């Protein structure tokens, strides 16, 4: 079996670039995700002109990185504090306001684009990038704080609702809304979360713990972790099949296992996997962006990006404030829900490939996704100054993985 050696060279190059970017960003005391995206943009067609030989392969590596990240975040989350009325209320506000605001502002800025494209642009402002949000929360050591749990829980619900909004926007391309398709997606998404959690906590956790004990009795150390990862990938597969994001499935699997006594072993394993695959995910997103497509629409893109952030701060912040959170926490929730990034890119690519939007609107949406992802970490640092350790913030060095730390600072032993 032969493969193009250039593929392995490119993956080697991406990881080497990730290491270099980490050293550079550590001097600037910025989150690693910011450096990885910016390095990707510098490498891409906008500056150096680097292109990916096998986009599909790198995209698969990148997607796996996002799945591993969300699985690990799920492991560190409190199941009962994620799926609450508060988070659902915040998520609904974070869907309605951005969708309406995006539609209205785009219609004013580009009236000739038509109603269908305006509806679609509004839809791209809805879904939060759970991967970026979760990464930033871990980087700033806020994942287990009340505000972090509120952001993460609302972001997951928001992502599910975002898929419903996408179905509605996609249905308008033919001049009508596919009501049956929307109803199916809503029922499937709710059913997946409910059944996934019920089956996981009632049966899969018991099976996994029993298998882990049996394996360790025979000298097999990593069987439990392999089974947990297998289940996470299966959940991701089911989520993708029914029409919601694979990363939502991985997150649900993580929350299912979050109460297990052996979850520390899973956290250590996913930490190493994430250290390899997550940089590929974020760098490749930067590489795929071509700024030349914005030549005639840069101000439209900037305004849409501002609306994207403000609409989340208003749409999520007001419900959070009404539900008893402080003003600072409410604003933090809105900012935490602002990143779009890979979600916006996925939706934009879908719209472009199906003919719903043109190349100009595609570039605007991708720009918005990148900008919202890049400004969120610095905004969080300003709001929660002193909440992170010195140097760069490493999303794979979670303070909650205490079991895996080694005194010499070289990290956990698997």
Domain of 122, CATH number, reads: 1.20.1530.20
List, for residues 149-199, the tens digit of each pLDDT value: 888 888 877 877 776 776 667 666 555 556 777 788 778 888 888 899 899
> Residue 399 pLDDT more than 70?
no
For residues 156 and 130, is the Cβ–Cβ distance under 8 A? Answer: yes
- Tell me which of 406 and 200 has the higher pLDDT: 200
Confidence category of residue 300, pLDDT binned at 50, 70, 90: very high
Does residue 373 come out as left (phi exceeding 0), alpha (psi in the -120 to 50 range) or beta?
A: alpha
Q: Which two structure tokens, joined as six digits, stand for 240?
A: 């993708």
Query: Among 60-64, 86-90, 191-195, 387-391, which is the least confidently predicted range?
Result: 387-391
Q: Say whether pLDDT at 280 is over 70.
A: yes
Least confident of 90-104, 137-151, 289-303: 137-151
If one counts the domains in the chain, the total is: 1
- Going by pLDDT thresholds of 50, 70 and 90, the confidence category of residue 130 is confident
Q: What is the pLDDT of residues 348-391, one digit of tens each?
A: 767 776 777 887 888 888 889 888 888 887 887 787 765 444 44
Asked if 82 contacts 149 with a C-beta cutoff of 8 angstroms, the reply is yes
Task: Provide mean pLDDT across the span 340-352.
Answer: 72
Instruction: Work out the pLDDT band at 233, boundaries 50, 70, 90.
Output: very high
**pLDDT tens for residues 96-116?**
999 999 999 999 999 888 888
Q: Is 195 part of a structural domain of the chain?
A: yes
Within a domain: residue 1? no
In contact, 308 and 91? CB cutoff 8 Å:
no
Q: Which of 66-70, 75-79, 242-246, 308-312 is least confident? A: 75-79
The whole-angstrom separation of Cα 169 and Cα 171 is 5
What value does the mean pLDDT of the chain take? 78
Check if the beta carbon of residue 69 is closer than 8 Å to that of residue 395: yes
- Asked whether residue 123 is assigned to any structural domain, the reply reads yes
Q: Is residue 21 part of a domain?
A: yes
| Residue 399 domain flag | no
User: Residues 6 or more apart from 335 whose CB is under 8 A from it?
Assistant: 309, 312, 313, 376, 379, 380, 383
Collapsing DSSP states into helix, strand and coil, what is residue 54?
A: coil
Higher-pLDDT residue of 119 and 198 is: 198
Is 80 a domain residue?
yes
388: left (phi over 0), alpha (psi -120 to 50) or beta: beta
pLDDT score recorded for residue 341: 72
Whether the Cβ atoms of residue 345 and residue 285 lie closer than 8 Å to each other = yes
Cβ atoms of 244 and 160 within 8 Å: the answer is yes
Q: Which domain holds residue 29?
A: 9-51+60-385
**Alpha carbon distance 264, 85 (integer Å):** 29
334 has a pLDDT exceeding 50? yes
pLDDT at site 176 = 58
**Inside any domain, residue 346:** yes
d(CA 366, CA 289): 7
Q: Would you give the distance in Å from CA 300 to the centre of its chain?
A: 25
Q: Which residue has the higher pLDDT, 402 or 175?
A: 175
pLDDT for residue 302 is more than 90: yes
Of the CA atoms within 13 Å of residue 186, those in its CB half-sphere come to 8
Whether residue 2 lies inside any domain: the answer is no
Q: Give the pLDDT mean for 293-314.
A: 91
Q: How many angstroms separate the CA atoms of 356 and 172, rounded?
A: 9
């Amino acid at each position: 079996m032969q493969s193009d050696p250039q593929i392995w060279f490119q993956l080697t190059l991406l990881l080497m670039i990730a290491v270099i970017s980490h050293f550079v960003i550590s001097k600037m005391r910025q989150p690693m995700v910011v450096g990885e995206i910016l390095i990707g943009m510098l490498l891409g067609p906008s500056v150096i002109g680097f292109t990916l030989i096998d986009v599909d392969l790198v995209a698969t590596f990148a997607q796996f990185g996002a799945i591993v990240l969300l699985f690990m975040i799920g492991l560190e989350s409190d199941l009962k504090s994620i799926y609450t009325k508060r988070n659902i209320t915040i998520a609904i506000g974070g869907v309605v306001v951005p969708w309406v605001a995006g539609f209205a502002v785009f219609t004013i800025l580009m009236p000739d684009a038509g109603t269908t494209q305006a509806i679609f642009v509004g839809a791209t402002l809805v879904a939060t990038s759970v991967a970026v949000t979760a990464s930033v929360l871990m980087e700033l050591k806020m994942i287990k704080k009340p505000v972090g749990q509120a952001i993460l829980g609302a972001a997951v619900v928001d992502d599910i609702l975002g898929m419903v909004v996408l179905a509605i926007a996609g249905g308008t391309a033919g001049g009508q809304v596919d009501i049956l398709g929307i109803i199916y997606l809503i029922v499937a998404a709710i059913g997946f979360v409910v059944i996934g959690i019920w089956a996981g906590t009632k049966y899969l956790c018991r099976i996994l713990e029993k298998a882990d004990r049996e394996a360790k009795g025979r000298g097999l150390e990593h069987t439990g972790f392999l089974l947990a990862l297998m289940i996470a990938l299966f959940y991701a597969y089911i989520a993708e099949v029914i029409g919601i994001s694979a990363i939502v499935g991985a997150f649900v699997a993580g929350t299912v296992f979050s109460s297990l006594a052996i979850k520390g072993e899973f956290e250590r394993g996913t930490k190493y996997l994430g250290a390899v695959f997550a940089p590929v995910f974020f760098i490749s997103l930067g590489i795929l962006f071509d700024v030349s497509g914005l030549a005639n629409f840069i101000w439209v893109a900037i305004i849409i990006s501002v609306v994207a952030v403000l609409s989340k701060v208003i749409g999520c912040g007001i419900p959070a404030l009404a539900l008893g959170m402080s003003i600072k926490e409410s604003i933090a929730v809105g900012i935490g829900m602002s990143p779009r990034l890979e979600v916006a890119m996925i939706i934009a690519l879908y719209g472009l490939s199906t003919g719903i939007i043109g190349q100009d609107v595609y570039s605007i949406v991708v720009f918005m996704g990148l900008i919202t992802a890049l400004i969120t970490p610095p905004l969080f640092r300003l709001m929660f100054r002193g909440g992170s350790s010195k140097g760069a913030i490493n999303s794979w060095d979670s303070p909650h993985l205490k079991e895996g730390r080694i005194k010499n600072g070289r990290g956990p032993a698997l």
